[in-house]
Structure 1
Amino acid sequence: MSKAQRAQVDAILRQPRPAPRNLEEMRAGYAATQAQMAVSDGIRTSETTLGDRRALLVEPTERARPGTILYFHGGAWSLGSPETALPLTSALVSRTGARALSVDYRLAPENPYPAAVDDGANAYHALLKNGEDPARIALVGDSAGGSLAVTTALRARESGLPAPAAVVAFSGCFDLTLSGESMDTKGETDPIFTREMLGPLAGMYCAGQDPRHPHLSPALSADLTGFPAMLLQAGTNEVLLDDSARLAARAIDAGVDAVLDVTAEVPHVFQSFAGILDEAGQAIDRAALFLSQHLR
């Protein structure tokens, strides 16, 4: 266990930073932070469209293997882009050999729920219309994007579309009532989030909708019957830990093959720190193995 590396990551995240004055500064700060993360070698990127949204295509430079990762970036539904997720998408592509399409879904508060879910569902539908085999598509995301991976699968089922092969979420946010026990028990150990910080961001996305809706809080109210296999990764130093634990339990109760993969003493979306934190690369290795097994 790399205690020194974990302490280094925690210190990086706790460094004092000027408080952003508005949402535009928050977005710029998030983009600048993500730009410092390592991008894996052996990939190339290009812009494309999926449905009616821009998407970033990430491909291996060597011969690609069958399979498509439909990726949803994090950023509390109001920050981020396919570019801010490139450290994670490149890592998955380089390890699996499959291509990734990272969707530039609409952000709140300009476009609150259900805009992002609509964009995710339209992107998945577009892949199917383009002839993609659903058994070779995985829905993957981090943080808010992890939630969108789950809700895109829910919307697909509601629309009568075939299920994807798998769903993977890194530190997904699956309860917008913010009622998980870890919201309190991990408040001191989480170097990024508190309930008080997440509340306004959740409010911007929900925009008056009932936060217990299955698309907003799948850990509380989603019917996961017939869902594809799921891998949910989280760290013990994050207030969202119980979101993944409760969604995994709900999936198992519904007869879904679900893996809850928890790493000790690491923060929210710790996988982004591959190259600094050994456990980050190891977690991505496990996610890549899970994807390779289900995209065969």
Structure 2
Amino acid sequence: MSESDSDKMVDKKARVELAIARIQNVYGAWRRDTSVEKMRQDWDQLFWNDSQPSDYRDDKIDGVSVRWISAPNTRRDRVLLYFHGGGYKMGSVVSHHDLMVRISAASDCQVLGVNYRMCPEHPFPAPVEDAVTVYRALLNKGFAADQLAVAGDSAGGGLAAASLLALRNESLPTPAAAVLISAWLDMTLSGESYESRAKSDPIHQRFMLDALASQYLGKDGDRKNPLASPLFGSLSGLPPILLQIGDRETGLDDTLSFAKVAAEQGVKVECSVWDDMIHVFQQFAEELDDAREAITQIGEFLQRQWALKD
């Protein structure tokens, strides 16, 4: 490794550590009695960024709160439904605004951010119901299924995958493609990476995800229900899927296992593991070159899949 490459690696690691510190400052301020409302406010403030030009408006589609987002000069006939992360408990179109704008620009499309209902007020299957409601409404508005796509990160990545299964269950036409970012795909938390990556992942630990799964499904809920854990569903017939994951993540095996099973069942899969990256590193596009490169990869993937349908 040259001295220049070594300097770049040191700078990269320093930038990742700064991103981690931002997250841990928020997590560290929470206590047992911190309200869900406070957590949600803090989460939105942590990630809110409107530095990228865009047109956006908030709306409701069949009772579901959404945000239409378009980067300048992007196509309006293609729509990416985006489901934010946050453990089915936090997150919104506010926390994920910057990421959605950047994906809109990279993908040359509108992004429709979905503020699906969340627990503890609205546990499973409310988010899946909202996802299907919005997708069905877009079809009814005249958008062609092959000009639609779905994406999400973390819990939202799991929801994006679950929505594909739900759409197939209801015999609705599936979208052209899906993008799953650091997706939570296995609520049984069975992957070896939950142990092997425990020391390297500064954000997600098994005990925290176990508690979130219990809140989402209920104490006696079925953690292998495919609409909660898509890894355990039949994946045949799904559209092409791009999966992105950081190598430091405890949920690494969720992505690797899902990609393997999907490919074995005939799904076209692209799986990208990013060295030294943390959970949903794409949200730190201001700081991280890898985040910007990952978003470019998402845009190229989506445009390639849509072009095949033209």
Report the TM-score when normalising by structure 2.
0.91
Query: Once the 2 structures are TM-superposed, how far is the Cα of residue 197 of structure 1 from its aligned partner?
Result: 1.5
Q: Please tell me whether the aligned partners of residues 70 and 104 of structure 2 are also in contact (alpha carbons under 8 angstroms).
A: yes
- 1:9 matched to 2:16? The reply is yes
* Residue in 2 that maps onto 1:212: 224
CA distance in 1 between counterparts of 2:60 and 2:37 reads 25
- Compare 129-138 and 62-71 and name the one that shifted more: 62-71
Letter in 1 for 2:44: A
1:69-88 mapped onto 2 (5 Å cutoff):
69-88=80-99
Inter-partner Cα distance in structure 2 for 1:96 and 1:12: 25
For the residue of structure 2 that corresponds to 1:61, the secondary structure is coil
What percentage of aligned pairs have identical amino acids?
34
CA distance in 1, matches of 2:282, 2:189: 23
Any conservation in 1 of the 2:74–2:110 contact (CA below 8 Å)?
no
**Cα distance, 1:209 vs structure 2:** 1.7
Counterpart in the other structure of 2:264: 253
Q: 1:23 to 1:42 in 2, by over 3 A?
A: closer
1:41-92 C-alpha deviation (Å, 9 max, x unpaired): 2311101222320100001332525411011011100101111111211011
User: Contact 1:43–1:93 at 8 Å: present in 2 too?
Assistant: no
Work out the number of aligned pairs and report it: 293
Of the three residues 28, 32, 37, the one matched with 2:45 is 32
Q: Would the aligned equivalents of 1:113 and 1:205 in 2 still touch at CA under 8 Å? A: yes
Kindly provide the amino acid, as one letter, of the partner of residue 51 in structure 1. D
Cα RMSD over matched residues?
Answer: 1.5
> Partner of 2:4 in structure 1?
none
User: Partner residue of 1:123?
Assistant: 134
Report if the CA contact (8 A) 2:285-2:292 is conserved. Answer: yes
> Residue in 1 aligned with 2:5?
none
CA contact (8 A) 2:52 2:98 kept: no
1:150 has 2:161 as partner: yes
Q: Which has the larger radius of gyration?
A: 2
For residues 275-286 of structure 1, the aligned pairs below 5 Å read 275-286=286-297
Alignment CA distance shift 1:132-1:273 (3 Å): same
Q: In the superposition, relative to structure 1, how do residues 216 and 281 fare at CA in structure 2: closer, same or farther (>3 Å)? A: same
CA distance in 1, matches of 2:10, 2:105: 27
Instruction: State the AA in 1 paired with 2:153.
Output: D
How far did residue 272 of structure 1 move? 0.7
Distance in 2, matches of 1:218 and 1:191, equals 25
User: Which residue of structure 1 aligns with residue 184 of structure 2?
Assistant: 173
Q: Which runs of 5+ in 1 are unaligned?
A: none
Shift, 1:161, TM fit: 0.4
Distance 1:100 1:40 in 2: 17
Give the distance between the partners of 1:64 and 1:2, measured in 2 at CA.
37
Q: Secondary structure, in 3 states, of the residue corresponding to 1:4?
A: helix
Alignment of 1:266-277 (within 5 A): 266-277=277-288
Alpha carbons 1:31, 1:84 under 8 Å: kept: yes
Partner of 1:68: 79
Residue 178 (structure 1) shift:
1.1
Shift of 1:39: 4.0
Residues 187-236 of structure 1 deviation map (CA, whole Å, 9 limit, x = unaligned): 110011111111111111111320011111112x1101110000010001
In the alignment, the residues of structure 2 paired with residue 239 and residue 227 of structure 1 have an alpha-carbon distance, to the nearest angstrom, of 26
Contact 1:42/1:62 (8 A) holds in 2: no
Residues 39 and 91 of structure 1 are in contact (CA less than 8 Å); yes or no, is this contact kept in structure 2? Answer: no
